Structure 1
């Protein structure tokens, strides 16, 4: 799964990128022009760690994430330049928007809600550029004999979306049926994407609450003191507690932010466990068993017989698979079973 980190200048988004990826050298955006910095991380999951400790496998494979740290968004960028800057974000599953809530030399007082409005406006402008370019191509095509009914429907829909965006409204508030949503999915509209807000706090901030921001976005909002947490993360584990207490930080935000990003992207994990390997698999929430099997190998999906499943909660309560069998918590599910987060599964198949 890939997650983009976006924010205005001085928001501290690159510090958050470093915290999430445990990378202590600041990315150099001058290299490669305006391309985002990319870093992969392994996802710590206490549930998977419990399975590792129980099975002592030859191989241990946690889920992995890629974080992309984009250059700062700026209202001074041209419309086309901003659209190009944000183009890679269109391919991502979800975004993290970082808002400054600390005093910064030479900057106005922190205003997270005002910054959020600006970021949302930049998304709308970038989407409008994409729509306008596509409408121009469709207009040229309309003069040719191969301009068909699908082109006409796309032109009409994008025309309505363009008017909606010009009113400074995001695509997320435009009424779309399932067919229309599928038709525009390839554009990766930024103002349609789910995103998590991280309020980067520090001295001079704290006036805007997370609930107030979530009421605007409709999504999750978390607070993080990225700079201090990054400094603490670099200390030996035995020294971290003292500084967390000194800065008034209950715990490091890295894991909660990653977990929230999973939820925002509509992703869950299921586990496979055995002596050879204990592994986490990332799937979309709502995925059925046969499709989850296909994530492991297409042969398993093709020859699917059944899924043998124990929920993680039942696994712990029963002290393992054997106990789950004895307590009747070991289930046999068919192709259409909807996978749940934390399912421990073994797929039976024949090829």
Structure 2
């Protein structure tokens, strides 16, 4: 396949999203976007292509070379454990003119799956830092397993939000939805392999969906804990999503302050009390509210009470230092 030429203005702004990369064949897919397209898109993976946007397949090496010409402050990041409101938080922050919210570009998943090295990851991170206006800052929400390479993406002048939930609320949330249970089962083997790389073997955690969800929590949380040790010191803010829901405006104020972009409190109150809080962020055409979430979690907790308790006790008995640390962090919140 013949590579197309790079857009001449690639390094200038965010008009050309690095949507996908294939290091095996040396190609990158660039998709033309405007601010409204970023604002509306829940995911910047291949679902984006259904609308048939303008796209180019370009030589990966040429694109990486162009990344050296980017002259923007480093992007800020949201890493998370999945199913913990990261899309909502990214959407809320994206309502602020100070941020360009970039949600789950496929290219970051491609980096993980291809095992790309630090140089390629740093180049993609540089391209993710482009925005549309001089005083706008890029905010990139990654897919959950991209946490595995967070240390390759967070640059010295960038900051990161690590978003999580307690094991009980996480397990309840997974068990509350048919699709999340199907996803849980589909990702089981890959998560076991990721845990094994950290020396963690959760034997017997396949005997119920609650146990699978507990293992998933352990996998994603230990990825964040390990990343926290490897990113630039002081760059991480941890947040429990359920704690954020109790005071979303105050929580957003803390996050924007961490990102070095203080915002007037009344603006955050307006966003936190607006319609986004009453919609399902991954599919805004559906109603979904904090009250409905709490109801669904409570119902799942009651239905699977015994399995959830046994699974959480099993995590505590594992004794692995990263799991112990993650459990302590969840209890502390």
Q: TM-score, length-normalised on structure 2?
A: 0.27
Higher strand share: 1
Q: TM-score, length-normalised on structure 1?
A: 0.26
Query: Quick check: which has more Rg, 1 or 2?
Result: 1
